[in-house]
Amino acid sequence: MIHVATQPKTTLKFSPVQQSLFFATARSRVDSYFAQRNLSPHANRAMWQKAAFFLFTYILLYALILSNQFGGLAMLGFALLLGFCAAGVGFNISHDAIHGAFSAKGWVNRLLSKSFYLLGANPYLWKLTHNVVHHTYTNIAGHDEDIELAPGLVRLHRDEPHRPWQRLQHIYAFFLYGLASLSWVFRKDYVKFFQAKIGPLDNTNHPRTEYINLFAYKAAYYGFFLVLPIVVLDLSWRQVLLGFVAMHVTEGLALGLVFQLAHIVEGTAFPMPTVRGTIDESWAIHQLQTTANFAPQSWLATFFCGGLNRQIEHHLFPKICHIHYSAIAPIVKQTAHEFGLPYIENLTFYSALISHYQLLKRLGGPGALGVSSS
């Protein structure tokens, strides 16, 4: 068995034998849906209104904190809400824009991509790690670095070495999710920027402007969210730091759980490459096997998560704005069933959470078989 620590990061290829008739059919049907209704696959009025809501709420909460008109507990509450809202900005604006799904105009997508800086994160690096690597090599150990959240602490697939403390990972993993965005702000972006490879992707030739963007926007974020509050608020630096951490705990937990419930639940696969460096499925079938929807009929989940509760549709059609996922989902689901392919869903957020918890618990046991790697 190949372990993550020793698996070479070579370029993988998906099976040319199974160039997916499923995907060609699904894509043709989805294209027909938009053409017959004369609809754009990009943002509509409802999407722009949702984007405005999240941006306005984010700015309002930040302004309320800096107004210095409230007590410490009220401002702590605002900080918690601001973290939740920051995750909403990431899901609903940044994510679509970085995928080029928000608008047909490139400059609009590039402008809205900058909203990712409001989370303290770098859109250029996210495009590399998420758009290029995660969306290509989903759930493939040693290639998809999104499943290596806390190497050595959280075991997410059976091909990863087991460690004794992972018997408790179904408990402590959720605390680690809460620290995810703090790691992003202070560590992850810097590490990813300067490491030689991201998965199998060469990562050594960044444009000069991206060096400037990385450090300039990080410095601006630290200034607006740490230095400025310490200067203008009638709070001690410890209280400001507490609010900052609280904000990121809610942000990190929201971001972490949405990802985990879409890929790390019972039924999703963690395929291993063959000795020839291939995956014995077409790319589209691989996406169906490694991805799950959750709470697909929940208006609240759809509104807040930016459609990422319909992760299957997102992985197959990442350049379609998420506002349309609910409409195209029946097309994708029906087509998958026609071809005898999986379409993994947890009908509620709670059932997805329990599924993730149970998978963590099973994988934390020594010698656990966990999920299939085929």
Domain of residue 121, residue span: 13-364
What is the model's pLDDT at position 19? 55
Q: Is residue 94 part of a domain?
A: yes
369 within domain boundaries: no
Provide the number of structural domains found in the chain.
1
The reply to whether 249 falls in a domain is: yes
Contact of 248 with 186, CB cutoff 8 Å: no
- Decide if 166 is inside a domain: yes
- What is the distance between the alpha carbons of residues 372 and 171, in angstroms, rounded to a whole number? 23
The pLDDT assigned to 34 comes to: 98
The pLDDT of residue 271:
86
For tokens 């209280």, name the residue.
239
Closest CA to 244 of 189, 187, 190, 186: 186
Q: Has residue 234 been placed in a domain?
A: yes
pLDDT of residue 11: 66
Q: What is the pLDDT of residue 361?
A: 93
Does the residue 357 lie in any domain?
yes
pLDDT along the chain (374 residues), means of 10: 36 65 94 97 97 98 96 95 97 96 97 97 93 87 76 79 89 92 94 88 90 97 97 95 97 93 92 78 91 95 94 96 97 95 96 95 71 40
In a domain? residue 231? yes
- Is the residue at 24 inside a domain? yes
pLDDT at position 6:
32
Please say whether the beta carbons of 139 and 263 come within 8 A.
yes
Q: What angle do CA 126, 130, 135 make, to 5 degrees?
A: 160
Of residues 275, 130, 229, the one with CA closest to residue 188:
130
- What pLDDT score does 368 carry? 52
- pLDDT for res 300: 94
